[in-house]
Structure 1
Amino acid sequence: MRRSLLLATLLFLCCAVAAWAQDKKAVTGTVKDEKGTPLPGVTVKEKGTANGAMTTGDGTFKVQVAPNATLVLSYIGFINQEVPVNGQSTLTITLKEDNKNLNEVVVTAMGMKREQRKLGYAVTELKGADVAKTNAINPVSALQGKVAGLDISAAAGGPAAAPRIVLRGAKSLNGKDQPIFIIDGVIFENDESAADVNFGNVLKNLNPDDYESVTVLKGAAATALYGSRAINGAVLITTKKGSVRKGIGVSVSQTAQMEKVYRGAIDLQNEFGQGQDGTYNNGAGGYSFGSRMDGSMVKLANGMEVPYTPKPNNAKDLYQTGKYFNTNVAMEGGNDKGTFRLSYSHLNNNSVSPNNEFGRNTFAFRGSSQISKVLSADAGVTYATSKTQNPDRQGGDYTNYNIGRKWVYVYPRNYDPSIWSKPENYIGKNGGRANLSTNPGTDYFYQMAFNSWTRKESLITGNFSLTATANEWLKFVGKANFSNEQTTDERKEVGTGEFFKGSDGFYSTAGVNKSQYTFTGMAMITPKLGKKFEGSLNLGAETWNSGIGKQYNNRTSGGLRIPFLYDISNSISAPIVKNDPLLRKVINSVFFAASLSYNNELFLDVTGRNDWSSALTYPKGSRGKTNNSYFYPSVSGAWEFTQTFKGQLPEWISYGKLRASYAMVGGDLDPYQINTGYYTPELFQGAASGKDLPLVNIYNSNILPNMNLKPSISKSVEVGANVRFFNNRLGFDVAWYRTNITNQIINLPTSIESGVTSAYINAGSMVNRGIEILINGTPIQNKNFTWDVSLNGSRNKNKIVKLAPGVDKLELNEDQGVKALATVGGSYGDLVSDYAYTRDANGRPLISIGGSDFPYVYKRGYAVIGNIMPDFNLGLQNNFTYKNWNLGVLIQARIGGDFFSASHQYGTGRGNTANTLDGRDTEHGGITYTDASGKVRNDGMIPEGVFQPGTKVTVNGTEVVLDGMTYRDAYDKGYVKPMTPLQYYGMIGDWGVGIREASVFDASYVALREVSLGYSLPSSIIDRWKLTSLRVSVVGRNLGYLFNNLPNHINPEAVRNNKTSAFSEYGAVPFVRNMGITVQVGF
């Protein structure tokens, strides 16, 4: 099926290329407003075609059109205008302001284009160029701070890693919270990377320079037509088409970018070196409670003598300057019979982490053809290959690959990587890894030198649509699309024993294939309803078929017989060879979308869709009750009150609209989960042919099958308003929503008495309430200079209404004894820990007697210590245009949301982080005292807190009760000694006795996310050089933080993975800023 579809698509594209040639005439012009101010960014199109151009910074344009053509000009805030060319070569056009505004056309569900003013729900559309200019490998990152209600967080893994993206709050208790991405009708997911290795998602294989627009559909009313797959929202990406022009147009762009670490992930102290009790000790491991580093000569663990000096940049020295190069070439052409566009992109990125590389090649073809007066067609195909090597494993990986963890837990502050990174120090005398007791921490350098993890991906997507126009009110549209992703992983690890042998050496290879295809048929009816009424009705049916399977997963066992020979047959023991089953899922659907408007002021949309999901279909003959059919409707309305009261409102009110919507969306689950008591080791025979699925395979007694699983349901209400003032110079858009998700499908742990470990059930009710606001304005606008500003903000509040009967909490995530929970009456992501402070009635921490290493410790207990979800998300964009210059500045903020830093926790316990300088000596506030051995010390410290009831000490043979006494009072009375820094910071951050609550912080930040400066050469120079355009731009991204609430400058965006419930880091990624230059030339 896929081969036939691909062949048909390619044949069509070949035909489309042949249709482009026709004589055209160059027309240049200037577009101004009624005050004579040039208007940049005006769309100028040849009527009835896709051919067009956009005015530059000085309001000029150049376009190739037929001599008798008519130009259609459109610009936000102005009335669309048609201008006949009549053989002229130069035009001066004046646009009039449009108080109605918002005639802007946006792409909505199922790819249908609608005027934004007629929509009863919130939609945000970005230009593809705004996404491409960021030079982000994964385009999701480019949306950060630009869309109200969209919460994006970076994830560890390097530039290609998939970030976390959540629209209008967490909606799922099973972790499925992220929106879908729809690229020319092909649906992709932003795959979660729950593990500590993030290779990114399929979007990194696509070329953002091919994007025409990016539309974010937030609410259920906006996404209802996409069915259960869009229950969490959708991001629509429409790619560029060819344009009508004389000859073939060619555009070339080249980007060179530098990536630089400008700060480590957490501030480290640079005054005291290795040791535990105020003296240097090369056997103290990663503890830095030694003496002050004074330049004296000391011996390392391997006997080498070196100066005992600070290494303030040692945590950054192991990173390199990252390099990014991206080349784009595109050619296009066309006439009134058809258009085409062909593009190629080559990207190569070496990140700041050594050995972490990403390379991509992407080919894309898009064509359209007016086959006859009745038939028109559009098709596209994309083919991409990529290779990712050794993604950064900082953030949460607990192995020797995590260099960030080494700096807070393994390496003391006098550690010199220039010494230990030499081969003679990490390779043993007879090969293999050096002894870690004499060559501490060198396992990192060993694996960096010899081990690798490589992922190769290939992606092919295609889409084809055929439109038949029966008459002026009836069209039939048929669409087909497909995608096929092939991923292969290869891991190579050499043994650590002598001669590079050992059971830990291995070779593995795995291959995963994902495929999907969709067929859609629609009838589009637009009857004439009279002078004041307009309406349309779309009726459609769709089938979606997907399959995913790990085709093979092979691994050596027991080590490699011959080191460095990476082949499955080189396994010492019998290799592990697996061929996993194919998981196939089918959703069949019917849908409708009806629109009605009255007098161009009242607008009503009603949609409905019914899905039949194979994932909720029980085999015939089983006890299961099939609930695979679910219907979800939506209704939305808008009232443009400025049209109703036209001429009656004050002049300073330019435009006003009220809107409201209600929608319900159903959700299913992954295939074969309804019979989770069973699994099959072979392919599900009959899945592809539509026959009944076999049930009798292998039984897993640890999972209880559910015989009556139902779809989850999301019900959403949204109301909003859009108002503009002062001739559209100031605008407000506000939306309030409430979403209730019920009947969620949860894999719930069961009691031991049940005889199973888990069961899928329908349970839970979760509510999100939120508000989104967009304020945009033009404070300054004159002939040569324009200043546009836009502020977006959102706030979402979540509440867990109920879970399952007898269940009041559900664990979402866990790290180091800190858990994220969903608790009835609480919110999604409440943080709790058994390693929190136990406090008295006045909120003071309780102190108890410990052991020999820590004579006193904080009493640990259970407490709610935070919540992971932010209170507010904000984005502020400023754009300044002066003649042909343009400057853009984006500031993005995340306010609230708590964060657990294991780096802070264990870096404190080891004395490596900057916060552990307090109390080290008199200069840092240490108390002078005489210890038990009679030694006078100046590093005494007094902890905050009071002694718990029942605490007793013996002083000069007399028992003293310390109940309720502060440590300070007990010290002043001579009952206790001051603590050493090791004891003081250990009771807070040591792995065994530390307090996790002490490392949970509000992760609020304000970031300078993006700054861009561009210059477009004027048309006079462009014409002289025989070009159509030439632009040079400089872009800086992730430039720094204007405010960071975390202590020790911890990276607030260093969450270990992109799960919605992720809240922690350990060995976080450093701060990296990107600076790039792009040259774009058009011929």
Structure 2
Amino acid sequence: MKNNYSRLKWVALIILGGILFFLSKSANAATTNIAYFQQQEISGVVQDQKGQSIPGVTITVKNTTRGTVTNLNGEYKITAPANGTLVFSYIGFKTLEIPIDGRSEINIQLEENIASLGEVKINAGYYRTTESERTGSIAKVTGEDIEMQPIVNPLQALQGRMAGVEITQRGGAPGMAPTIRIRGQNSLRDTRDDNGNLPLYIIDGVPINSAPVPSYTGVISGTGLDPLNTIGLSNIESIEILKDADATAIYGSRGANGVVLITTKRGYARETEVRVRLYSGAGQASRKMNVLNTREYLDIREQAFENDGVELTNSNAYDLLLWDNERYTDWQEKFFGGTSEILNMDLSVNGGNENTSFRLGVGYHKEGTVFTGDFDYQKATAALQVNHVSDNEKFHIDLSLNYGADTNNFLNSVNSSLVYLGVTLPPNAPPIFNTDGSLNWQDWDAGNRDNPFGGLYNTSEIYSNNLLANASFSYDLLKNLKFKTNLGYTDFGSNELIKMPKRSYNPENWGSITARSTHSAVERNSWLIEPQLIFNKQLGNSELDVIIGATFQQNTNSRLLMNGFGYSSEAQIGNLMVAEDVSVNNDASIDYKYNALFARIGYNWQHKLFVNLTGRRDGSSRFGPDKRFANFGAVGAAWIFSEEKFIKDALPVLSFGKLRGSYGTTGNDQIGDYGYLDAYESTLAPGGLIPVQLFNPDYSWEVNRKLEAALSLGFLEDKINTEVSWYRNRSSNQLVGFPLPATTGFNSIQANLPAEVQNTGWEVVLSSTNISNQDFKWNTSFNISFPRNKLISFPNIEETSYANTYRVGQPLNIDLLYSYAGIDSETGYFTVEDINEDGSFDYQDRVIERDRSRKFFGGMDNTLFYKNFSAQFLWEFVKQEGIDPYFLLGNLGNASNQEAGAINNGNGQVPSQSIQAQRAHGFASLSDLSTSDASFLRLKTISLGYNLSNNLLNGLGLKKGRLFVTGQNLITITPYEGLDPQEIGIYLPVLRTITAGLELTF
């Protein structure tokens, strides 16, 4: 029945589209005699104020999608209504609107205005605005900034570029999902499988599941794979981040953690153009930890035995007695010191005519690994955009298709530990391989240790494919009223196969090991229907914009996990048909349904005063029967006071000034499906069931109340622009597991706790045009954020398990620590304070809070142009605290290498292997002694380019040509002694990459 209903909906939509198309043709035939629709050809030349022709200027017919672009000589031709208006726009120049007035030739000169805020177009989701007129907090990064970086995931391109947006790249392995936080952590649920802090991702109007895809491969099991990996970077037009209530409330229950809008490139009417972009290069781990050499390591080990008064034996001192004391191996270089080769190719074809335009883009990206072994990441992408407008310009169709497929090949179970082993293995440890190339088990067995490459022949392949389709139909019902329907469909699939043959392991253990395989499959698909009515009316000196719409969405998520055991032949591993035993660990398919009504009313008076009202009523299947619907809304306002005459007279140096503010509510339904229902598990004995989850009909939405105020200023004709924003977000009704007494027979019940989390902060954005003349231009942009996070209330927290995780009045991202009390003068061991003097050390004694949140962060970007040369470099900076790497590597004196500072006993404890010493080291690692400054300044991106001269282009038959070199993560300045201050711990640091390439347009 459900399938029949779905088919009927799609049939109805197809019929509706046909009717609208027929109406457009009928309307066209009926109105061809109206002056507005009398078309004529206009031609001309576009120049700058010095009389130089400007190629690449976009000319559009106002209030339509019809347009063209000037050629190399600045010439253009376009067909337009005799009484229409042409809009000329080009980066670095003021946009110019010219009435046609029946003319067939229009030549113009554009006025240079690099920093003009009014011309920067912003995607606000259901509508578009400009940088100067927006009432909400929206940050934007262009496709040019994204595609020039040798990265896999588009979110990585945002690091250091946006105020209030924290992007943490989880290690240097390709495909790993980065962590994104927009204005802090709102939810107490912050784990991979149940993360209430993920933003809403919208691609070309279609929402996608933003949760990382789970993986059972060791190197990425902690983060998962990001579904955005399969998006072609060269197909992205822009990424906008919506932050405050005014910008996000129209997305209602899904906007609490911000919204990420990804817009792909579309075609435009012009002669067919082919663009080819190619680059290749290499990457290496950007940092290594400074550890002890062989002599230093052995001295500390010998001293530990002497301090403990323990006799050396082959069992406890194998590294001193059995291993070569003259041998030295840089294990970091051995394990992850390789070179990752990078290759990227993109091809796009763009063209069309007055009514129909298209763009086809395809791409291929391959990236190797720095780990030992021939493993890589590959992806192929394709995107098609088709845009059509009827002759009378009433009927519009926009079609967008994006498809991507990627493959991750990993050395399973080895890569996940090689970084840690690279730092901690004794420098005199024996070789990994024998002289014949086989794994060396004998020397490692002598020390009762596993060969670090145990599992060498295990392999893991993860194949993912992602289809995203969007179709938008609109029809002008009346002069000021438009009907629009947005249709979307997504289909994501990921399959993982891990093979573990017996030969990966020590032959002495083969009797207890069987060849096995792990199979996992994840499927996510969804459909979306959004009908809308759009009204626009000019009311004298004011303008009114109204959007009324509805959302109908359904997602289906399925997950399957199986294991196969007992393969008789290595060649058959992975074929479950020949496995001796097969187990199904997880098999589930869940539907998620979401409906909503939304509206927006936008009003502006004389383009000086703006008011924006948004509202949404949402319904989600994730909540109890009585709590499925909720209302969300916001109000935003802005006043461009620089347009007032008294301001212009009093402050002539001020070219732009705006005050804006917003307040509203958004929600959060980023939780598991059907968490409010009873749940049961089968008993160990067959035929029985036991309850594991209680029914809660009042399980409902988290609510986030957002408040913001901002001041924007522009000076010297917008050559200097700045914006200062203050925000306060309060998230309440927290969706977590509420602990229950043991007498109930349940650990917890899914419920809304009355806890409240607050995020406040200041954001400063500054941009400037430092120099601008005919030959040389220099632009700078700078942003800095000062976020503050706090748990402002949690009634009776001391009676819950969260008492050992959070403190009221403190940030969520804290470590609860002991107070360090110094070195015991008799034992030489670390000591911490027993606060309640009960003779034991527990959470009652952990009274120090270490805030691991960023104190401030930001970036500074500079772009320079000199004739045909260009240079761009971005610095990212972060102020934060971390954990001293000395306390990440184990007790001083163990058979484990140490951070180089340990040779001077810089932290005070004497080398010892005793249980007491190790226990003391453990307490110290959980004390304020372990705190380290992990701030850093990083040259995130540097790019150098050269545009081929017009004479050379004409000789080669090219429209455009560019050579470029790009560096990523080239320099990191930090007091932190660990591998990477960005991700505290023993993880693979981000890669330092250098690539070179060319871009040609035919």
TM norm. shorter chain > 0.5: yes
Residue 976 of structure 1 corresponds to: none
Q: Which residue of 2 aligns with 1:533?
A: 542
* Residues 309, 30 of structure 1: alpha-carbon distance in 2 compared, 3 angstrom cutoff: farther
Counterpart CA distance in 2 for 1:287 and 1:658 is 71
2:982 to 1053, 1056, 1063: 1053
- Residue equivalent to 1:555: 563
Is residue 438 from structure 1 mapped to residue 446 from structure 2 by the alignment?
yes
- Aligned with 1:421 (options 427, 433, 439): 433
Alpha-carbon distance between aligned partners in 2 of 1:277 and 1:99, rounded to the nearest angstrom:
66
1:757 to 740, 744, 747: 747
811 and 37 in structure 1: CA distance in 2 versus 1, 3 angstrom threshold = farther
C-alpha contact 1:217 1:223 (8 A) present in aligned 2: yes
2: CA distance, partners of 1:285 / 1:1052? 34
Query: Are residues 278 and 425 of structure 1, via their aligned partners in 2, closer, same or farther at CA, if it must alter by over 3 Å?
Result: farther
Residues 38 and 783, structure 1, Cα contact 8 Å, conserved in 2: no
Distance 2:150 2:549 in 1: 38
Q: Distance in 1 between matches of 2:286 and 2:255?
A: 39
Q: 2:903 aligns to what?
A: 918
Secondary structure in 1 matching 2:146: helix
1:182–1:475 Cα change, 3 Å:
same
Write the distance in 2 (CA, Å) between the matches of 1:993 and 1:804.
31
- The Cα shift of 1:201 comes to 0.8
Deviates more, 1:743-752 or 1:517-526: 743-752
Structure 1 residues 779-818: aligned runs within 5 Å = 779-807=770-798, 811=802
Question: How far, CA to CA, are the matches of 2:801 and 2:971 in structure 1?
Answer: 37
The aligned residue for residue 379 of structure 1 is 399
Determine if contact 1:655/1:724 at 8 Å carries over to the other structure. yes
Q: Match of 1:950?
A: none
Match of 1:260 among 275, 284, 290: 284
- What CA deviation, in whole Å up to 9, does each residue of 1:555-584 have, x standing for no partner? 124x44444531454777632035622111
1:893 to 856, 860, 877: 877
Rate the CA distance shift 1:606–1:553 in 2: closer, same or farther, 3 A: same
Kindly provide the amino acid, as one letter, of the partner of residue 554 in structure 1.
Answer: M
Answer yes or no: is 1:637 the counterpart of 2:651.
Answer: no
Cα distance in 2, alignment partners of residues 466 and 314 from structure 1 = 56
5+ residue gaps, structure 1: 16-21, 291-298, 394-398, 619-625, 682-696, 813-818, 840-844, 921-940, 945-978, 1056-1064
**Matches of 1:1082 and 1:942, distance apart in 2:** 60
Superimposed CA distance per residue, residues 691-735 of structure 1 (whole angstroms, 9 cap, x where no aligned partner):
xxxxxx996534333231121111111110110111211111111
Instruction: Label 1:216 to 1:943 Cα distance change in 2 as closer, same or farther (>3 A).
Output: closer
What are the within-5 Å matches in structure 2 for residues 1035-1046 of structure 1? Answer: 1035-1042=966-973, 1044-1046=974-976
C-alpha change, 1:159 and 1:908, in structure 2 (3 Å) is farther
Deviations 1:724-777 (A, max 9, x none): 111211111111111111111112333433321122121111111111110111
CA drift at 1:828: 1.1
| Partner SS, residue 132 of structure 2 | helix
The DSSP-based 3-state class of the residue aligned with 1:1074 is: strand
Q: Structure 1 residues 539 and 1025 mapped into 2: Cα distance closer, same or farther (>3 Å)?
A: same
Pick the aligned partner of 1:219 from 244, 250, 260.
244
CA distance in 2, matches of 1:757, 1:427: 47
Larger deviation: 159-168 or 855-864? 855-864
- Counterpart of 1:478 in structure 2 is 485
Residue 767 of structure 2 aligns to which amino acid in structure 1?
Answer: N
Cα distance per residue 1:324-348 (max 9 Å; x no partner): 1111111121111111111111111
1:31 counterpart residue number:
48
Residue 336 in structure 1 maps to residue 354 in structure 2: yes
1:634 Cα deviation from its structure 2 partner: 0.6
Give the counterpart of 1:350 among 361, 368, 372: 368
Report the equivalent of 1:237. 262
Q: CA deviation at 1:453?
A: 1.6
The whole-number CA distance in structure 1 between the counterparts of 2:243 and 2:729 is 11
- Secondary structure of the corresponding residue to residue 277 of structure 1: helix
Relative to structure 1, is the Cα distance of residues 191 and 582 closer, same or farther in structure 2, using a 3 angstrom cutoff? same
Q: How many percent of aligned residue pairs carry the same amino acid?
A: 20
Q: How does 1:363-512 map to 2 (within 5 A)?
A: 363-373=382-392, 374-390=394-410, 401-409=416-424, 411-415=425-429, 419-422=431-434, 427=439, 436-438=444-446, 443-448=451-456, 450-495=457-502, 496=505, 498=507, 502-503=512-513, 505-512=515-522
**Distance 1:885-1:64 versus aligned 2 partners, 3 A rule:** farther
Structure 2: distance between partners of 1:287 and 1:408: 19
Mapped to 2, the partners of 1:985 and 1:875 lie a distance apart of: 46
- Any residues of structure 2 matched to 1:100-179 within 5 Å, and which? 101-110=117-126, 112-156=127-171, 158-175=173-190, 176-179=196-199
Instruction: Report if the CA contact (8 A) 1:224-1:230 is conserved.
Output: yes
Q: Is the 8 A contact 1:610 1:632 kept in 2?
A: yes
Provide closer, same or farther for how the CA distance between residues 988 and 678 of structure 1 changes in structure 2, counting only shifts above 3 A. closer
The CA distance in 2 between the partners of 1:798 and 1:335, in whole Å, is 53
Tell me how far 1:96 sits from its aligned partner. 6.3
Describe the shift of the 1:610–1:37 C-alpha distance in structure 2 as closer, same or farther (beyond 3 A). same
Q: Are residues 562 and 633 of structure 1, via their aligned partners in 2, closer, same or farther at CA, if it must alter by over 3 Å? A: same
Deviation at 1:892, TM superposition (A): 0.5
Q: How many angstroms apart in 2 are the aligned matches of 1:186 and 1:285?
A: 61
Distance change (3 Å), C-alpha of 1:252 and 1:41: closer
> Is the Cα contact below 8 Å between 2:444 and 2:450 reproduced in 1?
yes
8 Å Cα contact 1:108-1:114 kept in structure 2:
yes
How far 1:600 moved relative to its partner? 1.9
Distance (Å, rounded) in 2 between the aligned partners of 1:991 and 1:517? 52
Separation in 2, partners of 1:718, 1:352: 45
Structure 2 residue identity aligned to 1:1082 = T
Equivalent position amino acid for 1:912 in 2: N
Distance 1:710 1:345 in 2: 43
User: Is the alpha carbon distance of 1:717 and 1:54 closer, same or farther for their aligned partners in structure 2, counting shifts above 3 Å?
Assistant: farther
1:719 paired to 2:709? yes
| 1:995 shift after superposition | 5.4
> 1:19: which partner in 2?
none
Answer yes or no: is the 8 Å Cα contact 2:681–2:692 preserved in 1: no
Change (3 A) 1:848 1:63: farther
Scaled by the length of structure 2, what TM-score is found? 0.85
Q: Is the 8 A contact 2:87 2:95 kept in 1?
A: no
Distance in structure 1 (CA, Å) of the matches to 2:809 and 2:609: 40
Give me the CA root mean square deviation. Answer: 3.8
Alpha-carbon deviations, 1:163-194, whole Å to 9, x = none? Answer: 11101111111122121221101223443478
C-alpha distance after superposition, 1:885-931 (max 9, x if no partner): 111110001112434758734275546234445348xxxxxxxxxxx
Q: What residue in structure 2 maps to residue 748 of structure 1? A: 738
Aligned counterpart in structure 2 of residue 521 of structure 1, from 513, 524, 531: 531
* Aligned-pair CA distance for 1:1004: 1.1
Aligned match of 1:627: 627
1:768 aligns with 2:740: no
Find the counterpart in structure 2 of residue 730 from structure 1. Answer: 720
Distance 1:40 1:775 in 2: 30
Q: Return the offset for 1:667.
A: 2.1
Partners of 1:26 and 1:347 in 2: CA distance: 41
Shift of 1:1017: 1.6
Q: Does 1:250 align with 2:269?
A: no
> Does the 8 A contact of 2:246 with 2:663 survive in 1?
yes
1:546 aligns with one of 551, 555, 573: 555
8 Å CA contact retained: 1:501, 1:563: no
Q: What is the deviation of 1:785? A: 0.7
For residues 824 and 629 of structure 1, what CA distance do their matches in structure 2 show?
A: 30
